[in-house]
Amino acid sequence: MASGPAPSTAIKASAKAQSRAPRAALRSGPTSRMKNAMLEAVSLVLEKLLFMSNFKFFSSGAPGEDKAGNTLYEINSFLRGDVLEVPRTHLTHYGIYLGDNRVAHMMPDILLALTEDRGLTQKVVSNKRLILGVICRVASIRVDTVEDFAYGAEILVNHLDRSLKKKALLNEEVAQRAEKLLGITPYSLLWNNCEHFVTYCSFVRM
């Protein structure tokens, strides 16, 4: 049997709680809204600081420009569903390998907020488009070639498994999750970025 207060005591406690509830709601309403506004403001400030600290990374050259043409990747060594990581000075870019030289990854892109012309938005994201996309918090989970995804940098494969010390889902399930998420998505340096995307695809069990 479950233990607990005597019925009369429980009823009194419930009545007292109900009598206090309206007053508590009146007190907590504006306070709760104020706290939410403060959290949003703090989050925005942190995102701006993080963006500024990594501005050199965002300004160091767009994907698909000069660097990409100088690097050859062992594409045959990648398996569908592998997590690909491109380490940079201050952060790492992540994607999911889909096979056939295709990588699904989240990329900020201001052009997504300006046009629905897929002929324009499917072109490799330029440096300016990326920076403005970060500022305006708009991105897409898109598919690019391995070369355009890595833009000349070294690629690590499934390194996130060891970093998180977790066992990833089966590769095919990872790839299918990534494919289902393709399209426009909100972007946040703190709360919704490329690492969150691959972490969900690879590790979150439903």
Which residues have a Cβ under 8 Å from the Cβ of 12 and sit 6 or more positions away?
Answer: none
* Known active-site residue 196: no
* Known active-site residue 90: no
d(CA 198, CA 194): 6
Catalytic site residue from 90, 136, 159, 194: 194
* Known active-site residue 194: yes
Catalytic site residue from 90, 93, 136, 201: 93
Catalytic site residue from 90, 105, 159, 196: 105
Q: Which residues are catalytic?
A: 93, 105, 194
